[in-house]
């Protein structure tokens, strides 16, 4: 066995008994993640409701097709079509992983839909559907997985577990027409930071990836198509980052958000205090007139849609 084969064998043995659940894995990013994890040696639960881009409908086809592709290549996988935006569906998904493969080590929350609309035209249903799939669909599986890992820790077992969430530049930097999607994705970033604090004691890291990729959710967006002409936005380019976070090298990384745009990886730095002022007396609007304009002028400008601060 040469050195390359030895290295590959060592990598395989590191994950030979590890189990990954990936939501929204029937298409796009989730499919790419599922194939990458299976190729690396993980047993994979491929979750996908099989709905359309806007979340309507359902089908067993997408999840089953990915499972067939994995097993044909010699990997281990089972399909799951539970609705992870529901409490029972999320629990059923986690239960299936444990029942099928004897445990759970990695949860990749990736399921998502789009119902873009300008705020003045957005309906309640368009808001609720997107928030449910993205935000509750991240909370539910994580909540049930966390219970499984907490119980293992309380029984004396050691966890080496990961949660990897999918946020978006839309939620971090903003995008017109996506108040529902952006609010959900911003919520996922906040959820990631807090869940990382809470679950670290149980041997669980929690991170998020903000991908820019050309998938069925973005293929009709002019900006995405234009960027894809000069940048490789294939979903497969994002999966190695997710796989790295799930692996041994990511064991000490938690509470982070990583943006992935083609060959560029950026650490997204969250909210932090900038310039500040203090008063021992209660503020009045008159006094604020004197100091707030200058304070705001000292603050760094917000990032634009590319994630970069404009040059003054």
User: Has residue 301 been placed in a domain?
Assistant: no
Q: Is residue 230 annotated as a catalytic residue, yes or no?
A: no
User: Has residue 203 been placed in a domain?
Assistant: yes
User: Has residue 309 been placed in a domain?
Assistant: no
Q: Is residue 168 annotated as a catalytic residue, yes or no?
A: yes
User: Has residue 279 been placed in a domain?
Assistant: no
User: Has residue 290 been placed in a domain?
Assistant: no
Using alpha carbons, select from 114, 100, 101, 96 the residue that is nearest to residue 215: 114
Q: Which domain holds residue 36?
A: 3-268
181, 230, 273, 298: the active-site residue: 181
User: Has residue 138 been placed in a domain?
Assistant: yes
pLDDT band at 42 (very low <50, low <70, confident <90, very high): very high
Q: Could you tell me the CATH number of the domain that includes residue 55?
A: 3.40.50.720
User: Has residue 238 been placed in a domain?
Assistant: yes
- Coil, strand, or helix at residue 274? coil
What is the predicted pLDDT for the residue at 227? 60
pLDDT band at 226 (very low <50, low <70, confident <90, very high): low
**Rounded to an integer, what distance in angstroms lies between the CA atom of residue 103 and that of residue 87?**
20
**Rounded to an integer, what distance in angstroms lies between the CA atom of residue 234 and that of residue 23?**
19
Using alpha carbons, select from 93, 132, 103 the residue that is nearest to residue 43: 103
| 22-31, 34-43, 152-161, 214-223, range with the lowest pLDDT | 214-223
Rounded mean pLDDT, 60-88: 97
**Rounded to an integer, what distance in angstroms lies between the CA atom of residue 103 and that of residue 35?**
20
Q: What one-character DSSP code corresponds to residue 117?
A: B
pLDDT in tens, 84-136: 999 999 999 999 999 999 999 999 999 999 899 999 999 999 999 999 999 99
Q: Is residue 181 annotated as a catalytic residue, yes or no?
A: yes
64, 168, 170, 239: the active-site residue: 168
pLDDT in tens, 257-291: 999 998 899 999 989 999 999 999 999 999 999 99
User: Has residue 277 been placed in a domain?
Assistant: no
Neighbouring C-alpha atoms within 13 Å toward the C-beta of 195 = 29
Report the domain count for the chain: 1
Whether this prediction's pTM lies above 0.75 is answered by: yes
**Rounded to an integer, what distance in angstroms lies between the CA atom of residue 259 and that of residue 238?**
9
The number of beta carbons lying within 10 Å of the beta carbon of residue 168 is 26
């Amino acid at each position: 066995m040469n050195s390359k084969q030895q290295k590959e064998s060592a990598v395989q043995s590191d994950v030979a008994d590890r189990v990954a659940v990936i939501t929204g894995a029937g298409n796009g990013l989730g499919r790419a993640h599922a194939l990458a994890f299976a190729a690396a040696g993980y047993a994979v639960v491929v979750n996908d409701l099989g709905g359309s881009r806007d979340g309507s409908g359902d089908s067993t086809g997408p999840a089953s097709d990915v499972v067939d592709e994995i097993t044909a290549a010699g990997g281990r996988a089972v399909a799951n079509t539970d609705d992870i935006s529901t409490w029972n569906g999320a629990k059923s998904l986690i239960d299936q992983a444990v029942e099928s493969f004897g445990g759970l080590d990695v949860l990749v929350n990736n399921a998502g839909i789009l119902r873009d609309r300008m705020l003045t035209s957005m309906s309640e249903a368009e808001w609720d559907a997107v928030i449910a799939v993205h935000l509750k669909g991240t909370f539910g599986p994580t909540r049930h997985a966390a219970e499984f890992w907490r119980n293992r820790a309380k029984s004396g077992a050691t966890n080496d577990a990961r949660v990897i969430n999918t946020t978006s530049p839309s939620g971090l930097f903003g995008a017109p027409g996506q108040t529902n999607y952006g609010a959900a994705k911003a919520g996922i970033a906040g959820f990631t930071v807090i869940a990382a604090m809470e679950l670290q004691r149980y041997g669980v890291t929690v991170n998020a990836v903000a991908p820019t990729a050309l998938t069925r959710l973005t293929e009709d967006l002019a900006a995405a198509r234009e960027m894809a002409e000069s940048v490789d936005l294939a979903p497969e380019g994002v999966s190695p980052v997710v796989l790295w976070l799930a692996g041994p090298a990511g064991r000490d990384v938690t509470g982070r958000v990583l943006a992935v745009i083609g060959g560029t990886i950026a650490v997204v730095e969250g909210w932090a205090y900038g310039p500040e002022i203090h008063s021992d007396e209660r503020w009045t609007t008159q006094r604020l007139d004197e100091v707030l304009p200058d304070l705001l002028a000292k603050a760094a400008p917000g990032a634009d849609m590319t994630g970069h601060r404009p040059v003054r």
